[in-house]
Amino acid sequence: MNNNDDDVQFDSLIKKMAHDHQPQLPNSGILWWRAQILKRQADKERIERPLVIMRLVAVTAGAVILFGFLMSNWRQAQPAANGSHVSFLAPLLVFSAIGCALLLVLLAWPPVSKKN
């Protein structure tokens, strides 16, 4: 047997092995629709990405502003917290702080880092 015959025989053996492989394949229709669903999800995520980023920025900025506001008005807010002295600005400060905190919670909800 020469080398060429050898190659031909080898080739036919590999082809036979491939031909004998008869697996249970997943349904093509299901695969197609799965691909469409994944594509839609990816498109939705892409569209929503700026919104998610802006929400994160808003939450961060809100937290910074609230913190700065509380720090700058700490002297007036402290007596109200202690209950020793009630200034006319103190309740306003406390209610503003609670309002801002609620707003931040609302902005941060639902969690922005939601993953499929």
Partner 1 sequence: MTETARDEPASQAEFEAFYLRTARVLHGYLCRLSGDPATADEVLQEAFIRMIHAAAMEEAHRKAYLYATATNILRDRWRKQKREREWSELSQPETSVHQNFSLSLDMAAVFDRLSAQERAVLWLAHVEEMSHREIGAILNVKEKSVRVIVFRAREKAKELLERAGFRGSHE
Q: Does 47 bind partner 1 (CB under 8 A)?
A: no
Q: Does 71 bind partner 1 (CB under 8 A)?
A: no
| Alpha helix positions (H), the chain | 3-20, 28-72, 74-82, 90-107
> For residues 17 and 37, what is the distance between their CA atoms, to the nearest angstrom?
36
Q: Does 11 bind partner 1 (CB under 8 A)?
A: yes
In angstroms, give the least distance from the CB of 45 to partner 1: 14
Q: Is the dihedral of CA 72, 77, 82, 86 positive or negative?
A: positive
In angstroms, give the least distance from the CB of 41 to partner 1: 12
Q: Does 40 bind partner 1 (CB under 8 A)?
A: no
